[in-house]
Structure 1
């Protein structure tokens, strides 16, 4: 069995070594291409229905509706079903939109100057001021205004042609602070039959100061004139969680990265994914604005998803896209093109897949295509695959033959000892008893050999004359004892 195990192990090692040349060209995918198909534009608006009960004179019901912008930013899809992570301040306004609606309707109906903002104001007219204060929330028995507030969240995916209506989304779980992650889920139609493309989340944030990253997002609704914005940044010293976040800092000190990224956050990249340089996975989200932009880590993102009951996962679109992307970045354009075509079948309009497909078709069969180079290389310089297959088959046959030979050569097991005969049936041995006579007979008597004189072939000393009293057997020639009547060797009688 030891030899059989050794043969099997040798065959397995040989197969592993043969498989190495086939998988040697596999490399990680691109830095941002894994994430950008899942980046979306997020726009949130509060819709307020307000009814003013004017009873200064005759009772009059005045109805108005207002759309109050809450925020715009960037989100990332983390599950094929449409789960999206962004910042709470993008989808939830900390200010009371009912106060804004009260100021607007009072200014319009009573023709007074009240700023259209979220502050509570006073009027010089005591009666109007009383009614205005009764209009402000919270609702009371003497309230002069009735409110109905709803939030309208729309996400615009990165597709071509652009979707002007976008996808409706609902707020699943908001964070405790404006710069905490919020979780959304799409509630409307989804392009394709297998869901949305997703982005992978990293396990942790890099600890090293100065680690390079990429930040991707939209400064407007995706379209022919608005492509995703990708900006390079570097991590600074480790910071706290939540609103504190981690700072950005250029290790060469050539660019003021907090100011640069803060401007992009104000323009629409707030909540944008921060992509790690190592494997292209999301390590955090962009927060802040103005002259100070920071990053909250992937730990806070996972915590928000857990509280919302959402499990991030990759879908079939991502599997097909990542396989094609690997071929593309290793310059196997002939093999990459069908992969991107498959992605577009699963999710029509994928901008990144369409762009890479166009580039793959342009480079297919060209000097940069590694697949073409491998096919056109001389036989003497290349290593075809079939010899490895033949060798693998021979090794398998040898292992099988060795196992068969070892099995045949194994010593058979000793048969079990014969069982003793049953009691009462045992026959006594032939030599038991004291008066038995054993008769031995020979099946064929010896032929009588006539006595002849000796023939000398060498110079022997002269033979002495024989004693006449000594006799020999006439049948076998053996010397007879004195007074023996029969030969002691052959039993022939000495006297005939």
Structure 2
């Protein structure tokens, strides 16, 4: 029986091997879809409340409030709780600069004087107004003519569909030492999803090779139907210091001035955008600079800032489902990719990247481009033909059937299926002699038999009758004579005769 089980197991394993679908391979080069679901738009606004104390003509308190745009850029979600990394200059500035701008605005509006609407300190021709203006500028003094309170509102606009026009608020957890140092944000005010948000994987290090290809992904405006994520190709140059100095970009073929191209994009909203490695699609750095000089700070600066903020980057359930579906999609197994993207949308309904790729997968499912369909229809060119495996499976099947038949033949008949054990018939009763009395005086040995189960040796038991005195019978009629009788009691014939 054990031999039969082994043969059947081998047959099942061979069948499963033949039926097993091809497994997906690792991500092909240049994938940015692994990161773009976690890319967000970051907008920061300074809210200023200012009160001007006018003592020139009559005592007046003039109150105003201003929302001054502080920064606009791109951020990257690094854990399901919604922790975001971006540049410090996108979310933080010197509060004194904002206070100076508010003082210039309220003074120009109330006293009807021309003052540039910027964050620089200006001088007026009227000595009295000029003195009051200087007393309005920070820092606050006992003779100040202005009371100023500055707060910062940070709003995050995720990459979702339909677009989130309101966004959600975030708090600044940690700012860097300089404007181009990483800053860490955490959501506040409302939940970001039952299982969190999509995240981007962080690389272990920056590629050392000069000319290593990368991609920069971010938003030039709030995500929506008319504003999609912008992805630009760039190449790492040699050299570059650590920290805020960054590593420069350079086109190895010298067809494009990449620092100028990326600097312009940084000014328009890609400041703080993730720089994505071409090998596995992980984040290797962040875009800094602007104007005609854009650079990249490495992933070590990002992870160091996260560590100081007490936040650990990690992946979540959404990312596991999305990465599995994305692998199948980029290897053209569209039939297998579609359920994976559907699962991602169940976990995070707004994932615009998953929704778009699901639409493509459903359109190509079962078509000529579907590798799963082609593999099922015909063997891949150059691969091992299937007939040796089919022949081996047939041989295993015949061997298993032969072994089962031999084992069946070797069984005892009572053990064979369909042949239940037949019990021995009971012993026949002793024949009854009619017309002649039984000889009760004979010494007899009676053997009593019992039917036993198959394979058990039956036990024999002998029953011996007791010895009796000699018994005599009438020679005329055959009737038994009593002990000591001289004549037959039935016919009267003498017993001695």
TM > 0.5 fold call:
yes
Between Structure 1 and Structure 2, how many residues are aligned? 380
Q: Is the CA contact 1:191–1:348 (under 8 Å) kept in the aligned structure 2?
A: no
Secondary structure of the residue aligned to 2:311 is coil
Q: Is the CA contact 1:161–1:349 (under 8 Å) kept in the aligned structure 2?
A: yes
Pairing 1:201-212 to 2, within 5 Å after superposition: 201-212=202-213
For 1:195 and 1:238, how far apart are their aligned partners in 2? Answer: 38
2:161 is equivalent to residue 160 of structure 1: yes
CA drift of 1:58 comes to: 2.4
Q: Is the CA contact 2:215–2:234 (under 8 Å) kept in the aligned structure 1?
A: yes
Pairing 1:42-53 to 2, within 5 Å after superposition: 42-53=42-53
| Residues 234-290 of structure 1, C-alpha deviations (whole Å, 9 max, x = no match) | 000031122311011111111111111111111111111000000000000011111
Secondary structure of the residue aligned to 1:96 is helix
CA drift of 1:378 comes to: 7.4
Secondary structure of the residue aligned to 2:231 is strand
2:25 is equivalent to residue 41 of structure 1: no
Secondary structure of the residue aligned to 1:243 is helix
Using structure 2 for the length normalisation, give the TM-score. 0.72
Mean Cα displacement is larger for which, 181-190 or 278-287? 181-190
For 2:372 and 2:344, how far apart are their aligned partners in 1? Answer: 21
For 1:356 and 1:189, how far apart are their aligned partners in 2? Answer: 28
Alignment partner, residue 227 of structure 1? 228
Secondary structure of the residue aligned to 1:178 is coil
For 1:209 and 1:161, how far apart are their aligned partners in 2? Answer: 40
Alignment partner, residue 75 of structure 1? 75
Q: Is the CA contact 1:83–1:183 (under 8 Å) kept in the aligned structure 2?
A: yes
Q: Is the CA contact 1:333–1:363 (under 8 Å) kept in the aligned structure 2?
A: yes
Q: Is the CA contact 1:192–1:348 (under 8 Å) kept in the aligned structure 2?
A: no
CA drift of 1:381 comes to: 4.7
Q: 1:35 to 1:105 in 2, by over 3 A?
A: same
For 2:261 and 2:64, how far apart are their aligned partners in 1? Answer: 41
For 1:338 and 1:24, how far apart are their aligned partners in 2? Answer: 16
For 2:315 and 2:152, how far apart are their aligned partners in 1? Answer: 29
| Residues 329-374 of structure 1, C-alpha deviations (whole Å, 9 max, x = no match) | 1111111101101111111121110110000000001011122223
Alignment partner, residue 27 of structure 1? 26
Secondary structure of the residue aligned to 1:177 is coil
Alignment partner, residue 188 of structure 1? 189
Q: Is the CA contact 1:28–1:326 (under 8 Å) kept in the aligned structure 2?
A: yes
For 2:359 and 2:375, how far apart are their aligned partners in 1? Answer: 22
Secondary structure of the residue aligned to 1:122 is coil
Q: Is the CA contact 1:179–1:242 (under 8 Å) kept in the aligned structure 2?
A: no
For 2:193 and 2:43, how far apart are their aligned partners in 1? Answer: 22
Q: Is the CA contact 2:24–2:327 (under 8 Å) kept in the aligned structure 1?
A: no
Pairing 1:360-399 to 2, within 5 Å after superposition: 360-377=361-378, 381-382=385-386
| Residues 291-346 of structure 1, C-alpha deviations (whole Å, 9 max, x = no match) | 11110000100011111111001011101100111111111111110110111111
Alignment partner, residue 84 of structure 2? 84
For 2:208 and 2:366, how far apart are their aligned partners in 1? Answer: 43
Pairing 1:244-259 to 2, within 5 Å after superposition: 244-259=245-260
Pairing 1:436-451 to 2, within 5 Å after superposition: none
| Residues 203-247 of structure 1, C-alpha deviations (whole Å, 9 max, x = no match) | 000000000000001111111111101000100003112231101
Q: Which runs of 5+ in 2 are unaligned?
A: 1-9, 400-497
Pairing 1:399-438 to 2, within 5 Å after superposition: none
For 1:271 and 1:154, how far apart are their aligned partners in 2? Answer: 15
Pairing 1:76-475 to 2, within 5 Å after superposition: 76-94=76-94, 96-377=97-378, 381-382=385-386
For 1:382 and 1:315, how far apart are their aligned partners in 2? Answer: 40
| Residues 175-221 of structure 1, C-alpha deviations (whole Å, 9 max, x = no match) | 00010001111113344311110000000000000000000011111
For 2:128 and 2:211, how far apart are their aligned partners in 1? Answer: 63
CA drift of 1:24 comes to: 5.0
For 1:191 and 1:79, how far apart are their aligned partners in 2? Answer: 12
Q: Which runs of 5+ in 1 are unaligned?
A: 1-10, 395-496
Secondary structure of the residue aligned to 2:150 is strand
Q: Is the CA contact 2:168–2:188 (under 8 Å) kept in the aligned structure 1?
A: yes
For 2:179 and 2:22, how far apart are their aligned partners in 1? Answer: 47
For 2:102 and 2:35, how far apart are their aligned partners in 1? Answer: 39
